[in-house]
């Protein structure tokens, strides 16, 4: 199985976090604690991998070239979901997490380069999946559209700042959650 498909399968498996809450298996505070614990585990693993040396085959298989000497995407994925959960209520954080765990892997399989801006058809697909997620979450139209748009923009480009790739695993949940929060707080409500 190609590495890209394996990476996308790991992405989708993260849907288990918000699913625990949606299925009523954990309350929101328990979900937050689980995400914090997972982020701490990611910090420990990344510290060992980057500074001590951790030659697990899974890291070789699932990390991208630009992640070899920087934080790997899985850690940023955990940090992004944790930040969204800690900063926002479930109404905002859950769809933000789902856009990362569902829309991003679909986008990646539809076509991506490692860096740069994605093709228009991929961006449109991503926006459609994100809008479906936000719409099914019961958000008002304006918040749903702006959240989906923010996630699509975060997914569509990977800027490089001071030699460091700003990974969409961090920016999708945080950016979309901020957009939805601002829309809910400051813009008129239009229902779907």
User: What are 101-121's pLDDT values in tens digits?
Assistant: 999 999 888 875 556 678 888
| 157-158 and 116-117 beta bridge pairing | antiparallel
Three-class SS state of 80 = helix
Domain residue ranges of the chain, discontinuous segments joined by +: 3-186
Strand partners, 149: none
Q: What is the pLDDT of residue 60?
A: 63
pTM of the predicted structure, to 2 decimals: 0.88
Q: How far is CA 134 from the centre of its chain?
A: 14
| pLDDT tens string 48-98 | 888 887 666 655 666 666 566 677 788 899 999 999 999 999 999 999 999
pLDDT higher than threshold 60 for residue 1: no
Three-class SS state of 164 = strand
Question: Pick from 97, 96, 156, 157: which is nearest to 122 by CA?
Answer: 156
């Amino acid at each position: 199985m190609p590495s890209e498909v394996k990476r996308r399968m790991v992405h989708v498996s993260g849907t288990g976090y918000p699913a625990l809450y949606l299925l009523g298996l954990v309350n929101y505070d328990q979900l937050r604690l689980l995400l914090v614990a997972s982020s701490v585990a990611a910090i420990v693993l990344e510290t060992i991998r980057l500074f001590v040396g951790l030659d697990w085959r899974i890291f070789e298989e699932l990390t991208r070239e630009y992640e070899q000497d920087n934080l790997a995407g899985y850690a940023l994925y955990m940090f992004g979901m944790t930040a969204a959960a800690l900063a926002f209520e479930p109404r905002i954080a859950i769809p933000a997490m789902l856009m990362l765990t569902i829309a991003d892997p679909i986008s990646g399989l539809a076509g991506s380069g490692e860096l740069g801006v994605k093709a228009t058809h991929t961006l449109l697909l991503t926006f459609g999946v994100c809008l479906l997620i936000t719409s099914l979450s019961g958000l008002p139209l304006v918040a749903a559209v702006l959240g989906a748009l923010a996630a699509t923009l975060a997914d569509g480009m990977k800027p490089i700042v001071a030699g460091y790739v700003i990974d969409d695993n961090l920016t999708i949940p945080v950016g979309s959650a901020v957009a939805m929060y601002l829309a809910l707080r400051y813009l008129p409500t239009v229902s779907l």
